[in-house]
Structure 1
């Protein structure tokens, strides 16, 4: 026989136990993510590598996490409009930012920014690094980086070299090249790569620093000529094009892309997103597509991506100072 006191004690313990289970369940429920659509802000116009990379990852996240991850383009002011929009969003994991080289550059290129990127954005994960390439018009009588340097020295200030805009990695890669090679050429900024490549093909400008992603097909079809890639290793989609550093030791730049969230986003959400983004980068189909774009996956945890952002920001600060541009 169980005494009344023992029965009441057992019931009380059971009640406490059930209460603990319910509290744990409630705590877990508070951490369920996502429960609705997630906005993935791309601070550039639609089209190009940024959209392709974003849609590849978003499709994976949608399938794995059961809620739509939707790309929203917010172009303007060298990525600053989209970046500020994300920094100003609630830190709940429902607004993410495609971070890029522009964020590392703008930290020192534009001292009037109304936000502090390093403090306003929590690093989530890396996505990919894309080499740049120095391409020239077929009309220009040069076939190597050494030829280009010699021609520029023999014709100071007569070469026109394009980029996708002032303050971009393309522009500053050219400025770094000028400083290290001791040459001078005229920088011609365009609103994106496409119009610059069009004028390059027609011979209206003589050279351009561009992402391998957008130049690859034009080089392969013989419409323009590639002289050198900006990374220390050759690009998989341009294996015959040597690194510029073979001629200019120490020269190295690249465009990089990753994911950030507003500061104070819960660490459990950041960890989940990092895990799933890394799973996407390991997926054979996504790996193959990145390879077609000339992109090199950036894998690792959020801390490693954050450390990379610090290194890249310092790297580009030195380039900005060297260029003398603001």
Structure 2
């Protein structure tokens, strides 16, 4: 990525707190030692696996170790706070996820300021969500599902993970947009949700695809649509909800952030390396296996996306009375 004079000056200014000499020495040969990548989720899930895929790529390109450090819990705020309080020297980055944008609405006042203490570097990928139902249910299309929900006094029941996560919010948005009642029933993860769905005890689930795929291939679960703003390469057969007449978009995502005063040249280098990784066909294939769409947005656009999403989901959280306090 070509570095403009303005970007370079901006980066030096951002590092001015540490003094010109320190700022200069910290960027000349970066990275000169191992780099920490802080994950908001535990090991083994799509966030952790995708980050390790990217870390391996960064190591091959930059000749330094990129360590993945898992800091799960508290709706991603533990990991967010860890990086917000880290040195702005380019050796600690956050692998942020969608709960970043809803943390204030869910928890109230935080121990860090998500707009001032952390700097968006780049969105890396989207976690597409799908509306999935029992294949033997009487509704075979989104239109039929909405009609069914409207015909029921209590509406539809949705199996989702913990309150306030993206699948739950997607269900809440669909209910409000399509104009039907509904109840989100929370389980400990996708597996118990599928048990209830297959048993016919809930009407639908909103979920990422990998864990559901065996049931879909077996013909026991059916995909009614994708919550993304365009069809996902993970399962292009599924039309978006927008295509089917409901203006509902809900995106899970992962992306990189850094302490706010991280020097501009380091930020630009990381942006460049992320963009290169996501354009690599092998990387894309590995991510697709995890149900992820590679999707690069540079820092400013990524920050604007987070602001829009925070406003959108903050309203849903308040209207639905969802909180974890």
Same fold (TM over 0.5): yes
Tell me which stretches of 4 or more aligned residues in structure 1 moved more than 4 Å.
Answer: 26-30
Match of 1:50 in 2: 47
Q: TM-score, normalised by structure 1?
A: 0.85
More helix by share: 1
Match of 1:227 in 2: 224
CA contact (8 A) 2:155 2:180 kept: no
Higher gyration radius (CA): 1
CA contact (8 A) 1:40 1:71 kept: yes
Aligned residue among 262, 265, 285 for 2:262: 265
- Which stretch of structure 1 is more off in the superposition, 174-183 or 106-115? 106-115
Q: CA deviation at 1:208?
A: 0.7
* SS of aligned partner of 2:315: helix
Q: How does 1:296-307 map to 2 (within 5 A)?
A: 296-307=293-304
Distance 1:66 1:294 in 2: 29
1:39 pairs with 2:36: yes
Distance 2:305 2:154 in 1: 36
* SS of aligned partner of 2:184: strand
Distance 1:250 1:137 in 2: 23
Q: CA deviation at 1:70?
A: 1.7
- Which stretch of structure 1 is more off in the superposition, 41-50 or 106-115? 106-115
The 1:29/1:121 distance shift into structure 2, 3 A limit, reads: closer
1:65 pairs with 2:62: yes
Distance 1:190 1:42 in 2: 23
Q: How does 1:258-297 map to 2 (within 5 A)?
A: 258-297=255-294
1:198 pairs with 2:184: no
CA contact (8 A) 2:226 2:239 kept: yes
- Which stretch of structure 1 is more off in the superposition, 99-108 or 292-301? 292-301
Deviations 1:146-169 (A, max 9, x none): 121122122232643111211111
Deviations 1:268-309 (A, max 9, x none): 211111111111011121122233444332224322222222
CA contact (8 A) 1:190 1:196 kept: yes
**Contiguous gaps of at least 5 residues in structure 2:** 1-20
The 1:30/1:206 distance shift into structure 2, 3 A limit, reads: closer
Distance 1:79 1:242 in 2: 31
1:122 pairs with 2:123: no
CA contact (8 A) 1:173 1:253 kept: yes
* SS of aligned partner of 1:233: coil
Distance 1:263 1:37 in 2: 20
Q: CA deviation at 1:27?
A: 4.7
* SS of aligned partner of 2:48: helix
The 1:29/1:124 distance shift into structure 2, 3 A limit, reads: closer
Match of 1:256 in 2: 253
Deviations 1:9-33 (A, max 9, x none): xxxxxxxxxxxxxxx9x95576322
Q: How does 1:1-326 map to 2 (within 5 A)?
A: 27=24, 31-157=28-154, 159-326=156-323
Deviations 1:190-216 (A, max 9, x none): 233333233323434331111134433
Q: TM-score, normalised by structure 2?
A: 0.85
* SS of aligned partner of 2:115: helix
Q: Cα RMSD (Å) of the superposition?
A: 2.3
Question: Would you say how many aligned residue pairs link Structure 1 and Structure 2?
Answer: 303
* SS of aligned partner of 1:70: strand
**Contiguous gaps of at least 5 residues in structure 1:** 1-23
Deviations 1:83-118 (A, max 9, x none): 112212222222211112111122323213222211
